[in-house]
Structure 1
Amino acid sequence: MPQIDFYILHTKARQERDRLACQLVDKAWHQGYRTYIHTHSLIQAKQLDDLLWTFKDTSFLPHDIYPEVLSSTAPIRIGYTDQLCEKMEVLINLTATVPPFFALVKRIAEIVDDTPTAREAGRDRYRCYQQTADNVLKVHEIYR
C-alpha cells in the first residue's frame, strides 16, 4: 500500500495549492518518479498544465494531459478521469475525494486548502485511507 502525505496549507490563496503541487511534482521528477496529478476537471488540468510551463524559470517539467495524449511517454501526466495512466508511481490528488486507483501507486500527496469545506473533505480522505490496511499516513503543516 502507498505512503500517503497530507500537506495542510495555511493560506486561502488557491494558487498556493497549485504552486505546491508543482513543487511536489518537480521534486518527484528529479528523484526519477513518474507522477500523475489528479484534477477534478479538464479546465483544472489545463490550468495546471499552464502553470507547469511557467512556475520555474530555470527548468522544464515534461508533462501532458491524460487522456488527451494517450500514447505519451511523458513522466508527468495530468488527468481528470477515474482511470490512472500506466506505470505511475506518485499520485498528487487535487480533488475532494479518494481516487479509485489510489492503491496502484507507491506514494500519494494530498493537498488540503485552509477552508472549512476543504479541511472536512481532507479529514474524510484521511479516514478513508486510514481504514485501508497498511497505509503510512503523514501530515505536514505548511504556512505561507
Structure 2
Amino acid sequence: MLSYGSVAVALVHRQVMVVQAARPHDHRDRFLDVYTFAPFGERVFLASDAPCARIAARDVLTIFPDTDIFSMPAHDVLELPPKAFGEFSELTARNQRRYESLWAACKAKAMPRRASRTRRTTQIALQAM
C-alpha cells in the first residue's frame, strides 16, 4: 500500500493534509504512521506542529505514484508537482463542500423547531386574549 517515503493525501484531525509514510505499510495495516505536512503556499507544504501521526488506513484519500517527483528544498518542506497539487486542491474543496452541506442540513433541521416554537407561543398568546 505505502512504501517508506510515499506521499499521499489524507484526513488528519478532519483536515485534508499531505502525508508521507514514516515506514512501509501493506494493505492489511489498519493504521499508518505518517509525517504530516500543512499547506504553506502554492505547491509548498511545511511539516505540521505535530509532524508524526498515526492515522486510520481508511482516512487516506489518494496515494500519489512513486514515479512522481517530489522535491524537498529543506528538511521540513515538501513541494508537490503541479498535477499532485491540483488533486490536493480538488480533495480539499470536496471536503469543504461536504462540511458546508452538513452544516446547512443541520441548520435547516434546527430552523423549523424555532419557527414552530414561535408559532405555538403566538397561538397561546392569542388564545389568552
| TM norm structure 1 | 0.27
| TM norm structure 2 | 0.29
Indicate the structure with greater helix content. 2
Greater gyration radius:
2
Indicate the structure with greater strand content. 2
